[in-house]
Amino acid sequence: SMRLLAKEVGVTEGALYRHFQSKDEIIQDLLTQEASRFHDALASRLPESPESASTPRDPWAELDALVAAFIDYGRKEAESFRLIMEIHGSPGSTLQPRGRKPRTLFVGTISRINARTPDRKSDPTATVVMIVGLLSRLIVAERTKDLKLGPAQVVLLAQRSARAVVDAAWIPSAL
């Protein structure tokens, strides 16, 4: 309830209602803030753009960087990561982060990979859903000590698995 939330954060219930109309609005604001932090953490790890605009970044290198940053964020920002995955990924959830979304970085990268191979198509959003599910499970398995791999091995496994998902998600354009 708003009363319990106000007590927990050390403000009056009235103070909360001056800034937020409902608990959903508080959760929405928190989700947006955390998703923006996640987006910025991923974006900061993308390879630098080449000096020549005619030579774009390698999208496979982008994918590897995004995957490594995703795993790193899940490790270092466990509560933020959990919040984003649980609220945003909950079945039937209508809450969506506003502004900068980590998913857009992955979708853009998958779209650039697709553009390099015109005879094959994939749905970048569906591909990203599969990659995020895989990466999220790896983070949980690492946290619960179900994986017997070192941190660098987990990142390499995640990168290779994400590349395999991208490759498997391609559908020949003749279909």
User: What tens digit of pLDDT does each residue of 88-146 get?
Assistant: 655 555 555 566 677 888 899 999 888 887 777 788 888 988 999 899 899 989 988 89
Structure tokens of 169?
A: 């998600």
User: What tens digit of pLDDT does each residue of 11-64 get?
Assistant: 787 777 777 777 777 777 777 888 888 888 888 888 776 555 566 778 999 999
Q: Where are the beta strands (DSSP E) in 55-124?
A: 120-121
List b or e across 54-87, with b for residues whose CB sees 16 or more CB atoms inside 10 angstroms: eeeeebbebbbbbbbbbbbbbeebeebbbbbbeb
Q: What are phi and psi of 92, to 5 degrees?
A: 80, 0
DSSP 58: P
Q: Are 77 and 38 in contact (CB under 8 A)?
A: yes
For 10: left if phi > 0, alpha if psi spans -120 to 50, otherwise beta; the answer is: left
DSSP 171: E
Query: CA 57 → CA 41, 48, 50, 109, distances in Å?
Result: 18, 8, 6, 10
Supply the pTM of this predicted model: 0.80
